[in-house]
Structure formats: C-alpha cells, structure tokens
Amino acid sequence: MKRYLYLWHRWLGIGLCLFMALWFFSGVVMLYVGYPKLTPREHLSHLPVLSLQDCCVDLSVALAAADPQRAPASIRLSTVAGEPRYLFSYPGRSNVAVDARTGQRVNFSDRDWALAAARQYDPLAAAVYRGPVQEDLWSHSRALDADRPLQRVQLADADGTLLYISGQTGAVVRDARALERGWNLVGAWLHWLYPLRGIGVDGWWSNLLIYLSLTATLMAVLGAVIGVLRWRISKPYRSGSRSPYRGFARWHHIGGLLFGVLAITWIFSGLMSMNPWRIFSSSTPLDTAAYQSGPLQAQAFPISAARALSRFADEGLVARELEWRLVGGEGYLIGHDGGGRTRVLSMVDGQVHNRLPREVLERAAQAVLPQGRMHSELLDSYDFYYYARAEQSMLGHLEKRLPVLRVRFDDPQQTWLHLDLYTGEMLGVLDQPKRVSRWLFALLHSWDWLPLLQRRPVWDIWMIVFSVGGLILSVSGVVLGWRRLRK
C-alpha cells in the first residue's frame, strides 16, 4: 500500500508541482496588486460635478426611451463624455444610456465618443484610441458583460493608464495602470490561469481550475501522509538524520512537514473559491426583489433631478452622480460626491437625510419573507461576516461602511441580509451555504480573520512566510519531478 502512496504522490507531483509553484508565487503578488478594476471611488473622483443646465427630461421620458417594456434594475444620472446621461441597467441585458437633454437613446460605438470619455476621465492627458475589443487580458470579468463590446483608449499620463469604455453607454468602466498590468502578468492573470482564456478552451476554463485544484489537494494530502511515515521520531536513520533524503528531496520532505498542512488548506480553499458543483449555491433562495416592493418607475420619484441637486447643495453635498432607489415601495434619490460621501433625498417628506431610518429598512426586509420571523441588529464594528478588505483584494472595492443593519430570518437557510443605512442598498445575502463558503474559502485562503487583518503587518508576515514555505515545497517538487523524467 505504501508503494502506491509513493507512486501516486510522485506522478501527480510531476504534473502539478509547477502549477502549485505558480499559484504560491502569484498569490504573493496578489496580496498587493489586484486584477485591474474601476472602484466606485475612482469612478466618482473622475466625474465632473453634475451640471443640469437646460436639463433634464423627465424620468418617465428617459425610461420610455430606454425600454418601455421592462423596468430597469438600476437608474443613475451621470456625466458621460461631457454630457448628462441617464444610465439604466437590466438583468441579463446590455446597459442603456439616454441623453438627459433630448430624451433620446444614445449608442456609443465610435472613436470620437471613446476619446471624449477619456478626456473627461483625465482632461490633461493625451489620449490614443486603441480600438474595440470584446474581451482581452484585463477585461475577463463577467461584471463587464453588459457593457461589451468595449472601446480601449491609452492615456499618456504618469501611470500609463489604459481605459476601457462601455460600447453601450460610453462610460469608463475599467482603468488598468501600467504597473497593474505588469504585475498582473505574474499575479492574478497567472494565478487564475487566464493564459488559457481566448485560445478556444474558455468553456473548459472553470472545470479545468476545479479539477486541477482537486487533484493538487489529493497530491498534497498524500505527500503529508508520506512525510509523516518517512520521518523517524525515536530512532534516526543510519546517517543520523531523521529524514532518509538528501539535497532537494530533503528540502521537499522537511518543507512538507513544516508547511504541508497549510499548503493543503490553501489549495483546497482555492478549489472552494470556484464554488465547485455549485455546493455553495442556495437551494431555495429568497425573493430579494420584494425588498424594493415594486419596479423602478417614474411615479415613485416626483422630485426632479434638478430640484434634488439643489436640495443636496443646500445640505453641503456637491453631487457628481444621482441614483434612484426604491426601498419598501418608497422612493429615494441618493446623491454621491467625488469623495464617496452620500446623502439621501426622501420622496416621502422631501427632506435630505444622512442615512435612511432603521425602521424603513426593517419594513422593506420583512417583505422579503412576510410570514417569517425576523431579528435585526445594528453593527457598529466589523465582525467575522461583515468586514472591509484592502482595495486591491478581490472584493476590496466594495464599500463596507458602518454602522450597517443585519437582518436575520428564521427560514430553512437561516438567511442574513446586510443593508446599507446610507443608501438603502442590499449589500449582501448570507445563507448557510454562503457562510460555509466564508469559512472554507475566505478564511482558509486569504486569512480574512480580524485579529490578523487589523494588525498589519502581522497579517502580511503570516501570508508571506507561509507562501514562501509553500513555494519552496513546490519548487523542490518541480526539481525532483524533472530529475525523475530525465531518468
């Protein structure tokens, strides 16, 4: 039986240790340089102050021009290529832009519109049009699907920024600085095996990652078992050592004993990040659309955009973007300034508030499960299931403000909702499968544990030291595998 353990570990290692070495190396890079994305703060900081001179058509006109048959999932008023535009998103469909002055639907597909959008992003930098693209190295994210095809513009700024502009609305949807692009070639692009994208195996990419990770986990477990069996605790080998190996084999053996368990957890948790076979998907998801208590329609928002901007200015908020939101059937206009601050204009009383009343969010949440028992709590500090991450991390761009309202239901999945008091947005849905994913992926893979996250650089030292240990283990395995193949 031992012989088969050795054989399985050896031949799996010959095929997989190179992948593990790449994963450990690129994982260290990803600690500090994430895959390019346009964060909400970057987006707002590059927008001009909303100017509604000779503007705007009524929201009902814009809705009819966008799609008279369907209600949108979101409505924003922003500045695109120097002009005020209503921006609409629809589930499973392309985004839509409507000229806020004329009420006509606008399609952005040419070079001039892309360059105008780039000038708005950075008026001082020269811009060079790089042409359209459906998907490339820095635009694999599914979050961009509603904006494809994308237009690319290269800026001659200090950061060498490459902009991706929506082919549907003309808005800048991604920026990729030269430093990000360079490090990502040995970071996220390598870690997620993106070199395999775009060469005819895209449909297999997800399964390939899943089964590579699964096989690598099995290989690492076999290695840990063999490492323990070959280590002599009471009686050393004839050489005086407790390990029978020399050279790279000795490095591999001792490295496995020191770092093998953590290597197993990292490879396994990487597998969990892919949600293999949808094990973390909810079997009976809640109807979270009921939180709005109706579609986004103009009747719920009697106050005009121009009046809303004036009200926000009176309260000290210079808005760069407006967002229409429905919470429990009541309309609210959210004003965003360039620093990420928000104010809420209620359609009920016409007053501007710093945040929505707690009872409004609780009533809206109860509509999600009308017959179920609900318990809510106000979180004034981060905990294991609600916390902020560094901006470069995978989900670090998502705003996690405090306080936040957590609502718990007594449904079979024991679902939790996190509701943003500042905008009324439903920030996340956590049921039992997703909380298990929080343990098996976020905790084990990136050590999202507050005692470490809140004590930098302790977290950094922990991650780097053990990543280097895993890299030594993997590289020594690559050398041993190469030697075996040469024989």
Query: pLDDT by residue (tens digit) across 175-191?
Result: 999 999 999 999 999 99
- What residues pair up with 419 in beta bridges, in sequence order? 405, 426
Residues 6+ apart with CB under 8 A from 411: 284, 286, 369, 372
pLDDT at 359: 96
| CB distance 88 to 95 below 8 Å | yes
d(CA 374, CA 292): 17
CA 366 to the chain's CA centroid: 28
Q: What is the pLDDT of residues 393-409, one digit of tens each?
A: 888 888 899 999 999 99
Residues 6+ apart with CB under 8 A from 487: none
3-class secondary structure per residue, 240-279: CCCCCCCHHHHHHHHHHHHHHHHHHHHHHHHHHHCCHHHC
d(CA 433, CA 476): 37
DSSP state of 316: T
d(CA 371, CA 368): 9
What stretches in the chain show pLDDT beneath 70?
1, 109, 198, 200
| Main-chain phi, psi angles of 384, to 5 degrees | -65, -30
What value, to the nearest 5°, has the Cα angle with vertex 379 and ends 376 and 382? 135
Q: Residue 340: left if φ>0, alpha if ψ -120 to 50, beta else—which one?
A: left
Residues 6+ apart with CB under 8 A from 344: 332, 333, 334, 335, 352, 353, 354, 355, 356, 422, 423, 424
| CB distance 387 to 348 below 8 Å | no
CA 455 to the chain's CA centroid: 23
d(CA 201, CA 196): 7
pLDDT at 415: 93
DSSP letters along 356-408, please? --HHHHHHHHHTTSTTS-EEEEEESS--SSS----TTSTTTTS---SSEEEEE
pLDDT at 480: 87
pLDDT at 163: 98
Q: If DSSP codes are grouped into helix, strand and coil, which group holds residue 63? A: helix
Q: In 10 A of CB 23, how many CB atoms? A: 25
Q: In 10 A of CB 228, how many CB atoms? A: 12
Q: What is the pLDDT of residues 188-199, one digit of tens each?
A: 999 999 888 767
d(CA 17, CA 475): 7
For helices 202-230 and 2-30, what crossing angle results, to 10°? Answer: 120
Q: If DSSP codes are grouped into helix, strand and coil, which group holds residue 53? A: coil
d(CA 393, CA 448): 11
d(CA 347, CA 281): 36
Nearest C-alpha neighbor of 467 from the set 174, 240, 188, 266:
266
pLDDT at 165: 96
d(CA 327, CA 348): 12
d(CA 173, CA 27): 26
| CB distance 268 to 217 below 8 Å | yes
Percent of the residues in the chain that have a pLDDT greater than 70, as a whole number: 99
CA distances 142 to 92, 148, 181, 211, 358, Å, are 11, 10, 19, 22, 33
Nearest C-alpha neighbor of 424 from the set 401, 390, 397, 395:
401
Q: Look up residue 225 and give its amino acid.
A: V
d(CA 148, CA 109): 10
